[in-house]
Amino acid sequence: MTVPPRAGRREWIALAVLALPALLVSLDLFVMVMALPRLSAELGAGSTQQLWIMDVYGFMVAGLLITMGTLGDRIGRRRLLLLGAAAFGTASVLAAFSTTPEMLIAARALLGVAGAALTPSTLAMIMTLFHDPRQRASAVGIWAGCFTLGAIVGPLVGGVMLEHFWWGSVFLLGVPAMAALLVLGPLLLPEHRDTSAGRLDLPSVVLSLGAILSFIYGLKETARNGWHPLPVAALAAGLALGAVFVARQRRLADPLLDLSLFRRRAFSIVLVGLLANAMLSGGTMNLVAQHLQLVDRLSPLNAGLAMVPGMIAAMVSFQVAPLLGRRIPPVPLIPLGLALTVTGMLIIAQADGTGGLVAGFAVSCLGAGPLVSIGTNVVVGAAPPAQAGSAAAIAQTGNELGYALGIAVLGSLGTAVYRHTAGGPAAGPGPAHDSLAGAADVAARLPQHAGAAVMDAARHAFTTELQVVSAVCAAVMLGLAVLIAAALRDLPAVGRQTEAPAPTPVPEAEAEAATFVAQGEVA
């Protein structure tokens, strides 16, 4: 039995340096929520340009994660991380001083490219720095918590910056952090790359980017505008390009994405869990945020503050889950966490006021830690060390796709529920039957009494929409908990060491778990 070396002060300081990119990638996404109205007015951005300003960053991050994760394995993860930091800082300055909508869109696209380089590199380097599974699980929990912290800090800091400075100042938040990373990274972070990897296959890069961008674009446009020809064509193109990409990977000696990873049961099951969690939790969070503003009539800032308890609960969960994981195996720990999430969603489904929504959202976030922190360790630890960057990129791509799926699928379900509930006479004509915002437009053109009746019916319909979607998410999440409990019951607790397996036959799941533990890769 080999005891892996424990990390010292240098590794934990290095983790603090790696936490900066994770925080900034998340913060840069959420700060735009506050900055978009002002910058759109000052730059004269039209509605289509505003959508691209918001979306192009996420599109590029999602589309390039797999490529960047594999590239880091080939050229060196520290090298890619530092290149990404330099690009992120440069693009932040370009965005801050943009003079036209087109210039800002281009800068945001460059920020997305840089963000895609930063994210898998940071997670893969955590796997390189922390060999002890218990310490590694804690490090991943801190790393995951930084994304949540960015979601909390982004709108709040953005609001303060916009109160005292011009709109471009929100983009300069990342420059000092990237400068610190460029200075401290070479001193604290070790280099690691796959010396046996072949050349990067450029056709695979193009296919991967085209498949993911088309698919996410189609999902988002479907969620916004319904099943129109263009988003449907984009979805079909994404699926077709994805199929060609998979076929090419099977033929290549050095594929961009090693499909053999998906044959590992723990890898595939947990990856499905991470995708489903991002989909269901993200879709529910989006509806809760809309309910707080459109039904409970809170200002955007107060709505953001109302969601802070949930974000804090998620951060606590990310830190506590690895500690519990030292004594409790992934099963039952992950299913118990999902049970908390189910409970929170059921509270949301029964809530009749702001307090119930805030409480339900907080409880659902409290259950996220075991799946995200322990599950991420399982996914990345299932890959050989040389492919840690690629595995990290797959995990993050699953999160991006899951969130986009949640907005599209749950948004479509919610719209159907809203239209069915708002179908009565009080709903008014046309737009009032489509959305709460449409109902507000209709009500503004009606006499006060009639307008109030339309808005009451619309708010009731939106509340029913949130309740039904939350109940459906709870049911699906419960099914996910059962699946994980059945499929991963043989994985041991974090850091529990075992002797090398005897040469007698053992069930597949037990053999896989023993291999992970012997290599010190289970977390």
pLDDT at 468 over 60: yes
pLDDT at 522 over 50: no
* Arithmetic mean of pLDDT, 92-99: 92
For position 500, what pLDDT does the model report?
Answer: 35
* Arithmetic mean of pLDDT, 120-135: 84
For position 357, what pLDDT does the model report?
Answer: 94
For position 514, what pLDDT does the model report?
Answer: 33
For position 426, what pLDDT does the model report?
Answer: 41
d(CA 16, CA 162): 28
pLDDT at 300 over 80: no
pLDDT at 375 over 70: yes
Helix, strand, coil percentages in the chain from 3-state DSSP, rounded to 5: 80, 0, 20
pLDDT at 502 over 80: no
Q: How many helices (H) and strands (E) does the chain have?
A: 20, 0
Kindly report, residue by residue over 200-252, the tens digit of the pLDDT.
Answer: 888 999 999 899 889 888 887 876 777 789 989 999 999 999 999 999 999 98
**What single string gives the DSSP state of each residue in 51-62?**
HHHHHHHHHHHH
For position 423, what pLDDT does the model report?
Answer: 66
pLDDT at 499 over 90: no
d(CA 52, CA 220): 12
pLDDT at 440 over 80: no
* Arithmetic mean of pLDDT, 267-289: 87
Between these two residues, 101 and 503, which has the higher pLDDT value? 101
Name the pLDDT band for 437 (thresholds 50, 70, 90).
low
3-class state of residue 468 by DSSP? helix
Place of tokens 């940071």: 122
Work out the number of other CB atoms within 10 angstroms of the CB of residue 449: 7
pLDDT at 505 over 50: no
Highest mean pLDDT among 83-92, 299-308, 396-405: 83-92
Highest mean pLDDT among 6-15, 31-40, 140-149, 496-505: 6-15
76: left (phi over 0), alpha (psi -120 to 50) or beta: left
Name the pLDDT band for 517 (thresholds 50, 70, 90).
very low
C-alpha distance from residue 495 to each of 88, 118, 320, 370, 519 (Å): 36, 27, 16, 15, 11
Place of tokens 């129109």: 228
Of residues 476, 469, 472, 463, the one with CA closest to residue 351 = 463
For position 362, what pLDDT does the model report?
Answer: 94
Could you give the dihedral angle defined by the CA atoms of residues 278, 408, 111 and 56, in that order, rounded to the nearest 10 degrees?
Answer: 180
- Look at 22-26, 148-152, 494-498, 511-515 and tell me which has the smallest mean pLDDT: 511-515
Contact present, 261 and 439 (Cβ < 8 Å): no
Name the pLDDT band for 495 (thresholds 50, 70, 90).
low
Name the pLDDT band for 83 (thresholds 50, 70, 90).
very high
Of residues 18, 24, 25, the one with CA closest to residue 130 = 18
pLDDT at 183 over 80: yes
pLDDT at 192 over 60: yes
pLDDT at 333 over 90: yes
pLDDT at 339 over 90: yes
Q: What are phi and psi of 351, to 5 degrees?
A: -65, 140
**What single string gives the DSSP state of each residue in 390-440?**
HHHHHHHHHHHHHHHHIIIIIHHHHHHHHHHHTTSGGG-SGGGGT-HHHHH
Kindly report, residue by residue over 395-430, the tens digit of the pLDDT.
Answer: 878 877 787 777 778 877 888 888 888 764 444 445
C-alpha distance from residue 213 to each of 3, 56, 118, 220, 389 (Å): 43, 10, 19, 11, 21
Rounded to the nearest integer, the mean pLDDT of the chain is 82
Sign of CA dihedral 501, 383, 497, 328: negative
Contact present, 330 and 488 (Cβ < 8 Å): yes
pLDDT at 518 over 60: no
For position 77, what pLDDT does the model report?
Answer: 87
Name the pLDDT band for 34 (thresholds 50, 70, 90).
low
**What single string gives the DSSP state of each residue in 188-211?**
HPPP---TT-----HHHHHHHHHH
Could you give the dihedral angle defined by the CA atoms of residues 354, 355, 360 and 362, in that order, rounded to the nearest 10 degrees?
Answer: 110
For position 504, what pLDDT does the model report?
Answer: 35
For position 372, what pLDDT does the model report?
Answer: 87
pLDDT at 435 over 80: no
CATH numeric code, 1-199: 1.20.1250.20
For position 421, what pLDDT does the model report?
Answer: 85
Between these two residues, 383 and 517, which has the higher pLDDT value? 383
Where b means 16+ CB within 10 Å and e means fewer, 371-393 reads bbbbbbbbbbbbbebebbbbbbb
149: left (phi over 0), alpha (psi -120 to 50) or beta: alpha
For position 289, what pLDDT does the model report?
Answer: 82
Name the pLDDT band for 509 (thresholds 50, 70, 90).
very low
For position 523, what pLDDT does the model report?
Answer: 30
Between these two residues, 470 and 146, which has the higher pLDDT value? 470
Name the pLDDT band for 467 (thresholds 50, 70, 90).
very high
**pTM attached to this predicted model:** 0.76
pLDDT at 61 over 50: yes
* Arithmetic mean of pLDDT, 383-395: 78
